[in-house]
Amino acid sequence: MAGYDGFYFLRKAWALYPGVARPHSAPFLGDHYRRRRAERSALRAAADLVTGLAFHLWIPWRARRVQRRFALDAAWRRNAVAIGRARFADPNDIALFRITEAGAFDDYIRRFEDAGLNKRINPRGWGRDCALADKARFAERCRVAGLPHPEAVALFARGRTEILADPAGRALIAKPTDGEGGDGLRLLGSFVDAAALAAKLPVLLGGARGTILVQPRVVSHRGLAGVAMNALPTVRIVTILDEAGRPEVVSATFRCPSHGRARVDNMKAGGLIAPVDLGRGTLGAACFGYGGGDHAVHPATGAAIAGRKLPDWAAATALVVRAHAAAFTDYALIGWDVALTDDGPVLIEGNAKPGVLMPQRAARRGLGGGRYGALVAHHLAINP
């Protein structure tokens, strides 16, 4: 989606100051931006001034592009320009978060803010040795801590295969260790033993770049069959270390494919997202990640989404809290991708930069109004 959103890489490289003379932000971020403003050098203040003025000039052009992309009317565009200028907001965020009045931004983290905030509270997530950015390292930490996760069966890189476990006739998948959004996922089939796997991998993965991790294919809980189809639906559960350093669940979003051809649940691949009630594990209505309305039932199967209770929800939230506390306390914030299976919840991946689009769009409300915002503000205060 980098071509879809021209600011994708800029948001990660440059912590945009949200304003021209004074910052415009959600109240829970007010102290953070006041500190940033006071600490700026004269050169950075000048750069922020130029960038802020350019941002204001860019808003109408951006609003027209977004209007065409999502087939919105002229009234939406005029309102988006007004909100964008009043709150220093990207019209694309206004559309995706379905903002209709400027005051709604009081609880939202804008997407261009997210990288700058994350770099301060989760610096380990931006290093080359980040265990959450490497699927093989993540699997190894889970193994050592005794956490349920897909076993690492083999690694393949530069034409060479390293067998780590007996494939034992299990259906296997392969994915890049540094991949995002389900990119590069391949279904490999099953192999009777390690020798058969070692012989076949160079043929199956010969054109692959980087390091490829081979794991057993995880099968979804039978109760999710109507929304799983041929992919593995997952729940993105976010934990943040609280004021006492204990992991706390602060957000959860369910993801599933929207059609039977999909092999991954990611919204960049056209998947659906739905908010999860943290206490009960029930789903709200689903939507697509990048436009469209809400779906109380699955558009392809008719299976219920809104009101559906996820299986083993208490066990899933307990698992991510245990995983954060036992093996990943060097990260303040983690987005866990959890598969719900007949054998209980399984950790698929961890993300140091889980993003704010998905949970805020799915829930139709900002993250700043609850514990997510309170704990982000807490970590920004102790990591200024």
pLDDT digits (tens, 9 = 90+) for 210-249: 899 999 999 999 999 999 998 999 999 999 999 999 999 9
- Please state the separation of Cα 283 from the chain's center in Å: 18
Contact at 8 Å (CB) between 367 and 233?
A: no
Query: What per-residue confidence (pLDDT) applies to 6?
Result: 47
- Please state the separation of Cα 226 from the chain's center in Å: 23
Q: CA of 273: how far to CAs of 11, 253, 262, 301, 315, in Å? A: 23, 7, 14, 16, 21
Domains and CATH numbers, the chain: 8-121 (no CATH), 125-132+220-353 (3.30.470.20), 151-216 (3.30.1490)
Contact at 8 Å (CB) between 288 and 272?
A: yes
Q: CA of 119: how far to CAs of 16, 30, 113, 285, 331, in Å? A: 13, 17, 10, 32, 11
Nearest to 355 by CA among 124, 119, 114, 179: 114
**Could you tell me what percent of the chain has a pLDDT over 90?**
81
Query: What per-residue confidence (pLDDT) applies to 266?
Result: 81
Beta strand segments in the chain, E = 154-157, 160-163, 172-176, 186-189, 211-216, 234-241, 247-256, 272-275, 286-288, 294-295, 333-341, 344-351
Reduced to 3 states (helix: H, G, I; strand: E, B; else coil), residue 279 is coil
| Backbone angles phi and psi of 71, in degrees to 5 | 55, 50
Query: What per-residue confidence (pLDDT) applies to 235?
Result: 98
Secondary structure of the chain: what % helix, strand, coil (to 5)?
40, 20, 40
Contact at 8 Å (CB) between 321 and 336?
A: no
Q: Tell me the one-letter amino acid at 66.
A: V
| Strand 344-351 to 272-275 pairing | unpaired
Q: What is the pTM of this model?
A: 0.94
Q: CA of 48: how far to CAs of 14, 117, 136, 142, 186, in Å? A: 11, 17, 40, 42, 44
- Which parts of the chain have pLDDT scores under 70? 1-14, 181
The CA-based angle 4-2-208, given to 5 degrees, is 130
Neighbours of 159 (CB within 10 A): 10
Mean pLDDT of the chain: 92
pLDDT in tens, 15-61: 788 998 888 989 999 999 999 999 889 999 999 999 999 999 999 99
Contacts of 157 (CB under 8 A, 6+ apart): 210, 211, 212
d(CA 351, CA 366): 20
Reduced to 3 states (helix: H, G, I; strand: E, B; else coil), residue 269 is helix
Query: What per-residue confidence (pLDDT) applies to 384?
Result: 77
d(CA 155, CA 266): 24
**In terms of C-beta density within 10 A (0-12 exposed, 13-18 middle, 19 or more buried), how is residue 310 classed?**
buried
Reduced to 3 states (helix: H, G, I; strand: E, B; else coil), residue 291 is coil
**In terms of C-beta density within 10 A (0-12 exposed, 13-18 middle, 19 or more buried), how is residue 84 classed?**
buried
